[in-house]
């Protein structure tokens, strides 16, 4: 006659309920949530770095355009409307550079891409300058330059004042 031998286990089979499976699933969900947070953070940081780079390119191109426009004003080599013949904006009115975006198309002097190294800047459009006389009979001018970066949604405006001696 054969006898059955029962091998004792540390726990009886009826008390095991799959707790390890539930804990493993909870840990898997937590690891997934942490991973998603890290991915979102990295993506956001990459977008911020790209936007900062784009703004820096726009700033550098606008600064170069402002220097070119000031040089043109100093040696009377500007192309387009004569800034010395323009009357200043009436007192209390908005300056030309701030009035409308159409002024940047109609009243501004575009700086050709040949004068600004586009390979160094990689900008979307040529920067532009607007000259404004600051008072009747004075030799003071406000030169405003506006440029954009790789995308046209990152405009930068810089101003300088020039007084002829």
**Segment-wise mean pLDDT, segments of 10 residues, the chain, 165 residues:** 64 66 94 96 94 89 88 74 58 66 69 64 80 75 86 86 82
- Check residue 134 and give its pLDDT: 78
Cα dist from 85 to 38, 80, 132, whole Å: 59, 12, 10
Strand partners, 142: 132, 161
For residue 87, the tally of other CB atoms under 10 A from its CB is 8
pLDDT given at position 2: 67
Give the sheet arrangement for strand 156-163, strand by strand.
109-110, 128-133, 140-147, 156-163
Read off the pTM: 0.68
**CA 35 to CA 131: how far, in whole Å?**
54
């Amino acid at each position: 006659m054969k006898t059955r031998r029962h091998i004792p286990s540390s726990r009886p089979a009826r008390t095991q309920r799959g707790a390890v499976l539930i804990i493993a699933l909870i840990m898997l969900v937590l690891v997934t949530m942490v991973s998603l947070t890290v991915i979102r953070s990295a993506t956001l940081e990459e977008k911020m770095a790209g936007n900062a780079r784009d703004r820096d390119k726009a700033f550098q191109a606008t600064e170069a355009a402002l220097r070119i426009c000031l040089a043109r004003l100093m040696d009377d080599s500007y192309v387009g409307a004569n800034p010395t013949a323009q009357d200043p904006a009436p007192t209390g009115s908005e300056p030309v550079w701030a009035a409308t975006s159409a002024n940047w198309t109609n009243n501004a002097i575009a700086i050709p891409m040949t004068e600004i190294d586009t390979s160094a800047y990689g900008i979307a459009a040529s920067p532009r300058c607007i000259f404004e006389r600051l008072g009747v009979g004075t030799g003071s001018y406000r030169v405003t330059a506006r440029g954009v970066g790789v995308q046209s949604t990152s405009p930068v405006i810089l101003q300088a004042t020039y007084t002829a001696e």
